[in-house]
Every structure is written in structure tokens, then in C-alpha cells.
Amino acid sequence: MPKKQKFDLVMKFLLALAIGVFVVSNAARAESVNGKFFTGQEYSGEYSISESSNSDGMRVNPVTIRLTINGEKNPLLYTYVADDLPTIRANDMGFLSIITNSGGMEGSVTYDYVIIINGILVSIGTVQTTLHLGKIENIDAQPNKNLTRTKINYLIRQIVKFNPPALSESLNPYSAATLLLLGQGKFLTPEDDLILSVVYRNKEIIDDPVLLQALKKVIDPGDKDAETSAISSKKTVISNRAHFFSAPISSAVDTAYLIKGDAVSLVKKSADGRYWLADYVSSHGRRTEKWLRCEDIDYCR
């Protein structure tokens, strides 16, 4: 075979290979997703992430989500355009989250919260946090303009109540905290405030002063009165096994527990008086701040 013909064949092969790589790299990647919305509706389906360019020529990642609700035949569709490769997660707090981390420690993180309203997948809104050395420097909360302030506040409160134990899971405090910033005014009730104590007492959030200050605009973790404010009195566990609770409700029971004779410091009492937020330090110096039933420390008032 003549050298020129061999060269042409090699070039055609390389060109075809390059086109194939380009097509594969730009093809949408489909992943399955399933979970339950705070409304109790179960969903299953898939999402795909592709690559494209916006009008400014910048690379973006369009997201397409298709969900089947409660086994119905016709799937619901939701689309979103991320400025970097996003993470889609079926959050056990009752929503679907799209989280986009752009630029790492000196970039930004954008949260989009997808829920179902009247048979349609919609976003409650987006929150973008700008980072400096991994800490939040600025926060831009953009509620969905098609939803009223009252509606958004109501939806957030329902999410807070849906699965309180999920608020204390390691991946959730930031998602929960930024979700709250879509609400307007001090819209949370004392009951909500108690449930959310695990969020704004989270160590990572406490170490993020900008986020913590923003949270104070919608939730007030401060003292309500002398009885529920910080209390220095020590109490001793009287039950043989006193389980912790991640929130002051029976369904939020934890696997960890104290035994008879363990000493705790009381922080504040729940609104219904049945639980105390207790500060416990183990013999190894490990600190735990969670709820205990009042009868387990013989302090029901």
C-alpha cells in the first residue's frame, strides 16, 4: 500500500477516534434516583447531566430529572442548568437537592431544592454561597419568584417537621441551613426552633460566622425565658438506660444512650416540657449535646 494511502487511513482513523471521544465526553450521563418528598409521595426515576455552552461561551452542565411519583405511569420533568458538574441527591429531609461546587475552597457552592407542588416538580429557590478558604464569605438566597413569601415559609416549615432525625445526619446540616435562608422573616415557631437546634449547634455551622449570622434572621436560638435559657444545674440519670433524642419528639430517638448515674448539664427545656437538651461529657472528654426525656433525669416540671 502506498505511503500516502496509509497516511490518509491513519488520519481518518484518528479523526474518527477523536469524534468518538468528543461524543462520549459530551453525552448525558444517566443515574437512577429514588426517595420520598416531605408530602409523603414516593418517587423513583433518573437524572442525566450533559455538557453544553451558554451564550457567553462558558461551559455549563444542563441537568434533566425525570421522576415517577407513587408508581404513576407519566413521569414528571425538571430541568436545571449548573455552572459546573453538580451532585444530585435524594435528601431524606424530603426534597431532591442539586448541589454545585465550583472552584473549590475559593469558589462557590450553589444549592437548588426540588419538591413537588400540585403534581409539578418545582424549585423552592437557590442559595449560592461564596467561599474563601473553605468558609462562607457571602450568601445570595433567591427564592422562587413564582411562589409567595407565605407559601415558601410554609413549605420550609413542613420540611423541617417531616423527618427531624435527618437534620443531624452528617451530610445534611448545610443543606438544611441554606434551605432556611430562603424563608423570610422570623417565620419559625418555637417548636421548629427546638427541632432545628441540631442544625445551628452543628460545629461546622458554628465555625461559619457568616452563615450563623444569616440564620439568626429567620431563627432565634436565643433564650426564650429564664426557665428555658441556659441552665447550669447538673442532673443525674436515674433510668438504667436513657436514650438520647436528636429532637424533642419520640420519633427522633437515637441509638446512643446514658446509664444510671451519668451526670449531665441541662441547657434548655422543650416547649412541651417533656424533654431537656442535655450536655454530656464522657470520661474520654467527648461532648454530646442532645435531648433526654425529663423522666430519665427525674426533672419533669
The pLDDT tens digits of the residues spanning 260-282 come to: 999 998 878 887 888 998 888 88
Domain boundaries, the chain: 29-215, 234-296
For the 234-296 domain, the top CATH level (class) is: mainly beta
The pLDDT tens digits of the residues spanning 193-202 come to: 778 877 877 7
The pLDDT tens digits of the residues spanning 22-66 come to: 444 445 567 999 999 999 999 999 999 999 998 888 899 999 999
Span 216-224, mean pLDDT? Answer: 61
Q: What is the pLDDT of residue 42?
A: 96
Please give the full DSSP string across 105-174, using - where no structure is assigned: GGSEEEEEEEEEETTEEEEEEEEEEEEETTEEEEEEEEE-TTS-HHHHHHHHHHHHHH-GGGGGSTTSHH
Residue 54 DSSP class: -
Half-sphere exposure of 71 (CA within 13 A, CB side): 0
| Nearest one of 154, 186, 161 to 176, comparing CA atoms | 161
Q: What is the pLDDT of residue 36?
A: 96
Statement: residue 21 has pLDDT above 60? no
Cell of 216: 439568626
Grid cell 441554606 in the structure block, residue: 178
Q: What is the pLDDT of residue 184?
A: 81
Cα distances (Å, whole numbers) of residue 235 to 88, 190, 220, 253, 254:
44, 24, 26, 20, 20
